[in-house]
C-alpha cells in the first residue's frame, strides 16, 4: 500500500469530532397572530347608519305644516311639491336602495376577503411552523437518534430451506 | 457452507454426508463426498415452531426458568429428533473417526450419534445464528458435547464464547471466496463506470422503511454523485436527480459487477450470516459502509476495509469521507488485503477447517450430518 494505513476507528472518531462543531438547528417558528374583530368592515358605525336610514320620505307629512291658514297653505304647497317631485323621489329611493344593496354586497365581499386573507396567513404560518418542526426533527435525527440499522424482520430465525436439514 | 466445509474435509479425509432429506433412502456420490439420504425429511413447520419458540421465550425473559424450559423443550424437539433415527445404524456401519454436526439446534443429529457412539468426537458448526439462539439454554448441551466448534467470523466466535465459556476450542474458519475477474471487465450499463455509490437494501422500492429513508438521504446529499440503489423489486440508478429504474439485481454476477465498479458499497442489510456481500465488495477493492450493529462491521473494523455508522449523520460523513480519493484508495487496499488473506484462499480455508477439526495428516473417515 502506497498510502499510510488508516485505522477506521480512529478515522471515525476524527470524523465525529470534525462534524460536532457543525451542529445545526432550525429557527424557532413565529407565533400565529390572533384574528382581530375590528379588522372586519361590518363594525363600522356609518354602515350601521346607512342600513337604518336609507329609506327617505316620499310623501308630505301634514303634521309638519302646523295649524291655521298658514298651515293650510304650507300643506297645499307641500303636497303639491311632493306630487310634482314624486317620480324623482321614487327614482331616488330606488337608487338609494340599490346603492345600499351594492354597499351590502361590497361589505360582505370585503369581510370574505379579510377572512380568507386571515385564513391564508394562518395556513402559511402554520406551514412554516410545521416545516421548522420537521427540520428540527431531521436535525435531531441526523445528530442524535441512531437509526434502526437492523430491521425487526432481520432477527427472524433462519428456517427450513436454509436450516439444519438442508445442505447449504 | 456445509458443502464447502465437506469439500474441504474431503481433501484430507473420506467424507460421508448424512441428511434426513430425500423421498427414499439412498446413497449417492456427490463430487468429493458420499451423500446419504435418510428419506425422512423434517417438516418445515417443525423447524418453524422451534425457531418461533426460541424467539418467543427469549422475548419473555424466561430463558432461565427451568419449568418453562422443561415444557418448551418437548415442543422444541417435536418432530425434529425422529427423522434422524435411521442415521444411528448408518453411523455404526461407517465407523467414523469424527462427526461434524451442522447447526447448534440440530439435536436430532446429536441423538443419532450418541445412541451407539457416545464417545465419538464431535465438531459443531454454528452457522450464521443469532445471539439469542446461540445463548438459548436448550441448545447448551450441543456446545458441551462438541470437542470443537467452527464459526465463520470472529464476531460469531466471540458470541459463542460469551454464551458458552466451557465450550471446547472455537475456531474461526472463514469462507472460501474469490473475486470474479470478469466483473472487472465490463461495468453495469445502468450506472457505468461513473464512480457511483452502491446502496444495497433488503426492501422494496416503494414503501416507508428506514432503509429507504437512508437511501433517499444519500441520493439527496450527493446530487452530483451517481447513486445505484438495489431494492428487492428494482434497481434504481440516480443521476443528478433523475432516476432510471431497472430489473432487480438477482444474479450474483450482476451484483459482483456493480460492486467491482462502485466507489463505495453501502450495505444497509448485511444479513445474519457473515455478510458475504461485504467481503465480495472488499475483494474488488471497494470499501464498505455498514450498520454498526451488523455482522459486517467486523469486516470494516477488523479488516480496516471501511466504516460503520450509528446514525444517518454518520452514514453521510462515512460515505463523504470514502468518496475522497486518498481515503478511498487506502481503505480499498486495506480491505482487499484483509479479504484476500481471510477469505480469498481455498487452500488456507481447507487448512483452517482441517486444523479446527483436529484431523491428522493421514486420511481419516469423517461423518458429517447436515
DSSP per-residue letters across A49-75: HHHHH-----S--GGGT-SHHHHHHHH
**Cβ-contact B170, B352 below 8 angstroms:** no
Distance, first Cα to last Cα, chain A: 36
**CA–CA dist B136, B134 (Å, integer):** 6
Which of B44, B269, B311 shows the shortest C-beta gap to A146?
Answer: B311
Count of A–B CB contacts within 8 Å?
145
* Chain B residues in contact with A18 (beta carbon < 8 A): 317
CA gap B297, A88 in Å, rounded: 98
For B261-287, b/e burial (b = at least 16 CB within 10 A) is: bbbbbbbbbbbbbbbbbbbbbbbbbbb
A10 Cα to chain B: minimum distance (Å): 10
Euclidean distance between CA atoms A28 and B16, whole angstroms: 71
Instruction: Check CB contact under 8 Å for B291 and A149.
Output: yes
Any idea what DSSP says for residue A146?
P
Does position A42 have pLDDT exceeding 70, yes or no? no
Report d(CA B74, CA B223) in Å as an integer.
57
Q: Residues A167, B5, B7, B8: what is their CA dihedral angle, to the nearest 10 degrees? A: 180
- What's the Cα-to-Cα distance from A122 to each of A33, A37, A110, A111, A116, rounded to whole Å? 8, 15, 18, 16, 10
Q: Report whether B232 contacts B327 (CB < 8 A).
A: no
* Count of helices and strands (H, E) across chain A: 3, 0
Across the range A125-150, mean pLDDT stands at 68
Burial zone of B136 (CB within 10 Å; 0-12 exposed, 13-18 middle, 19+ buried): buried
* Whether A6 and B330 lie within 8 Å, measured CB to CB: yes
Give residue B230's pLDDT.
94
Residues A113-124, mean pLDDT to the nearest whole number: 88
Rounded distance between C-alpha atoms, residue A144 and residue B359, angstroms: 51
What is the pLDDT at residue B265? 96
For B350: left if phi > 0, alpha if psi spans -120 to 50, otherwise beta; the answer is alpha
Residues of chain A with Cβ-Cβ distance to B329 below 8 Å are 3
The pLDDT of residue A3: 61
For residue B282, CA distances in Å to A91, B155, B176, B256, B334 come to 96, 18, 14, 11, 9
A83 has a chain B CB within 8 A of its CB: no
Selected residue of B10, B314, B340 to mutate for chain A interface (largest A Cβ count, 10 A): B314
Tell me which of A15-29, A33-47, B246-260 is least confident: A33-47
- In this predicted structure, the answer to whether residue A162 has a pLDDT above a threshold of 80 is no
- Give the C-alpha distances (Å, rounded to integers) separating A67 from A63, A79, A80, B87: 9, 15, 18, 138
Given the C-alpha cell 467452527, which residue does it identify? B150
* B27 neighbors B45 (Cβ within 8 angstroms): no
A51: contact with B, CB 8 A cutoff:
no
- Per-state percent for chain B, helix, strand, coil, to nearest 5: 45, 20, 35
DSSP per-residue codes, A103-115: HHHHHHHHHHHHH
Flag whether residue B96 sits within 8 Å of chain A, measured between CB atoms.
no
Q: Which residues of B touch A149 (CB under 8 A)?
A: 210, 268, 291-294, 309-310
> Which residues does chain B have within 8 Å of residue A167's beta carbon, measured at their own beta carbons?
2-3, 17, 19, 21, 35, 370
Q: What average pLDDT does the segment A66-80 reach?
A: 86
Q: B304–A145: do the CB atoms touch at under 8 Å?
A: no
Q: Does A149 contact B at CB distance below 8 Å? A: yes
Is pLDDT of A1 > 50? no
Average pLDDT, rounded, for chain A: 73
The sheet with strand B227-230 has its strands ordered as: B242-246, B235-239, B227-230, B197-200, B264-267, B288-291, B306-309
Count Cα neighbours of B212 within 13 Å in the Cβ-side half-sphere.
Answer: 13
What DSSP element (H or E) covers B267? strand B264-267
A8-A12-A18 Cα angle (round to 5): 145
Residue among A164, A166, A167 with most chain B CBs within 10 A, to mutate: A164
For residue A157, pLDDT over 60 is answered with: no
Q: Which residues in chain A are closer than 8 Å to B48, comparing Cβ atoms?
A: 159-160
For residue B53, the chain A residue with the least C-alpha distance is: A157
* ipTM rounded to 2 decimals: 0.73
Asked if residues B225 and B197 have their Cβ atoms less than 8 Å apart, the reply is yes
Q: What is the pLDDT of residues A139-155, one digit of tens each?
A: 766 665 444 444 444 43
Phi and psi of B124, rounded to 5°?
-110, 130
Query: DSSP assignment, residue B118?
Result: T
The closest CB to that of A164, out of B106, B294, B330, belongs to B106
What pLDDT does residue B281 have? 94
Give the CA angle between residues A25, A26, A28 to the nearest 5°: 120
Partners of B291 in the beta sheet?
B309
What residues 69-88 of chain B have any CB closer than 8 A to a CB of chain A?
Answer: 83
Please write the tens of the pLDDT for every residue from A83-107: 898 888 888 888 988 988 898 888 8
Residues of B in contact with A151 (CB under 8 A): 202-203, 209-211, 269
Cross-chain CB nearest to B41 (options A5, A158, A165): A165
Is the Cβ pair A7, B304 closer than 8 Å? yes
Contact A151 B210 (CB under 8 A): yes
Q: What is the pLDDT of residue B236?
A: 92
- Find chain A residues with C-beta within 8 A of B52's C-beta: 157
A-contacting residues in B 154-193 (Cβ below 8 Å): none
Reference A21, options A143, A138, A135, A132; nearest CA is: A143
B214 interfacial to chain A (CB closer than 8 Å) = yes
**Mutation choice for A interface testing from B35, B311, B326 by most A CBs within 10 A:** B311
Q: Are B230 and B199 in contact (CB under 8 A)?
A: yes
Q: What's CA B8's distance to the chain center, in Å?
A: 17
B42 with A142: Cβ contact below 8 A: no
Output the tens digit of pLDDT for each of chain B's 370 residues.
Answer: 778 888 888 888 888 899 988 888 888 888 888 889 988 888 888 888 888 888 888 887 776 776 667 778 888 888 888 888 888 888 888 888 888 998 888 888 898 898 888 888 888 888 756 777 888 888 888 888 888 888 888 888 888 888 887 666 888 888 888 778 888 888 888 788 888 999 999 999 888 888 998 998 888 888 889 999 999 999 999 987 788 888 999 888 889 999 999 999 999 988 777 888 999 999 999 999 999 988 899 899 999 999 999 888 889 989 999 999 999 999 999 999 999 988 888 888 888 888 888 876 544 556 656 5
Check residue B365 and give its pLDDT: 56
Amino acid at each position: 500500500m502506497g498510502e499510510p494505513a488508516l485505522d477506521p476507528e480512529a478515522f471515525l472518531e476524527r470524523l465525529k469530532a470534525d462534524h460536532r462543531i457543525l451542529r445545526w438547528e432550525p429557527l424557532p417558528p413565529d407565533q400565529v397572530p390572533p384574528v382581530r374583530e375590528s379588522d372586519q368592515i361590518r363594525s363600522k358605525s356609518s354602515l350601521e347608519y346607512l342600513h337604518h336610514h336609507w329609506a327617505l320620505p316620499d310623501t308630505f307629512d301634514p303634521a309638519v305644516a302646523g295649524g291655521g291658514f298658514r298651515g293650510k297653505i304650507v300643506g297645499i304647497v307641500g303636497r303639491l311639491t311632493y306630487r310634482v317631485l314624486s317620480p324623482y323621489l321614487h327614482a331616488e329611493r330606488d337608487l338609494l336602495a340599490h346603492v345600499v344593496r351594492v354597499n351590502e354586497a361590497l361589505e360582505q365581499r370585503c369581510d370574505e376577503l379579510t377572512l380568507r386573507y386571515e385564513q391564508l396567513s394562518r395556513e402559511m404560518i402554520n406551514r412554516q411552523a410545521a416545516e421548522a418542526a420537521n427540520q428540527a426533527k431531521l436535525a435531531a435525527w441526523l445528530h442524535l437518534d441512531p437509526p434502526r440499522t437492523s430491521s425487526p424482520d432481520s432477527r427472524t430465525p433462519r428456517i427450513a430451506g436454509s436450516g439444519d436439514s438442508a445442505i447449504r | 457452507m456445509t458443502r464447502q466445509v465437506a469439500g474441504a474435509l474431503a481433501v484430507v479425509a473420506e467424507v460421508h454426508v448424512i441428511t434426513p432429506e430425500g423421498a427414499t433412502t439412498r446413497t449417492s456420490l456427490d463430487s468429493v463426498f458420499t451423500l446419504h439420504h435418510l428419506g425422512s425429511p423434517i417438516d418445515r413447520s417443525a423447524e418453524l415452531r422451534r425457531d418461533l419458540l426460541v424467539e418467543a421465550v427469549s422475548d419473555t425473559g424466561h430463558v432461565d426458568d427451568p419449568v418453562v424450559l422443561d415444557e418448551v423443550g418437548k415442543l422444541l424437539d417435536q418432530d425434529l429428533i425422529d427423522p434422524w433415527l435411521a442415521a444411528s445404524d448408518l453411523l455404526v456401519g461407517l465407523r467414523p473417526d469424527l462427526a461434524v454436526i451442522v447447526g447448534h439446534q440440530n439435536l436430532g443429529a446429536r441423538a443419532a450419534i450418541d445412541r451407539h457412539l457416545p464417545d465419538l468426537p464431535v465438531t459443531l458448526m454454528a452457522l450464521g445464528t443469532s445471539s439469542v439462539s446461540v445463548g438459548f439454554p436448550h441448545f447448551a448441551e450441543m456446545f458441551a458435547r462438541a470437542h470443537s466448534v467452527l464459526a465463520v467470523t470472529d464476531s460469531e466466535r466471540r458470541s459463542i464464547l460469551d454464551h458458552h465459556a466451557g465450550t471446547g476450542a472455537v475456531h474461526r474458519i472463514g469462507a472460501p471466496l474469490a473475486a470474479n475477474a470478469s466483473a472487472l471487465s465490463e461495468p453495469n450499463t445502468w450506472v457505468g463506470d461513473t464512480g457511483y455509490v452502491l446502496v444495497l437494501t433488503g426492501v422494496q422500492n416503494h414503501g416507508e422503511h428506514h432503509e429507504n429513508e437512508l437511501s433517499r438521504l444519500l441520493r439527496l446529499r450527493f446530487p452530483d454523485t451517481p447513486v445505484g440503489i438495489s431494492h428487492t423489486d428494482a434497481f434504481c440508478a440516480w443521476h443528478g436527480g433523475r432516476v432510471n429504474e431497472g430489473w432487480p439485481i438477482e444474479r450474483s454476477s450482476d451484483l459482483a459487477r456493480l460492486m467491482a465498479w462502485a466507489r463505495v458499497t453501502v450495505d444497509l442489510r448485511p444479513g445474519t450470516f457473515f455478510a458475504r456481500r461485504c467481503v465480495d465488495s472488499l475483494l474488488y477493492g471497494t470499501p464498505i459502509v455498514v450498520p454498526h450493529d451488523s455482522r459486517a462491521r467486523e469486516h470494516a473494523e477488523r479488516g480496516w476495509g471501511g466504516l460503520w455508522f450509528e446514525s444517518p449523520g454518520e452514514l453521510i460523513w462515512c460515505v463523504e469521507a470514502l468518496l475522497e480519493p486518498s481515503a478511498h484508495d487506502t481503505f480499498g487496499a486495506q480491505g482487499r488485503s484483509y479479504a484476500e488473506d481471510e477469505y480469498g484462499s481455498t487452500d488456507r480455508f481447507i487448512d483452517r477447517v482441517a486444523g479446527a477439526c483436529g484431523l491428522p495428516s493421514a486420511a481419516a473417515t469423517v461423518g458429517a450430518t447436515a
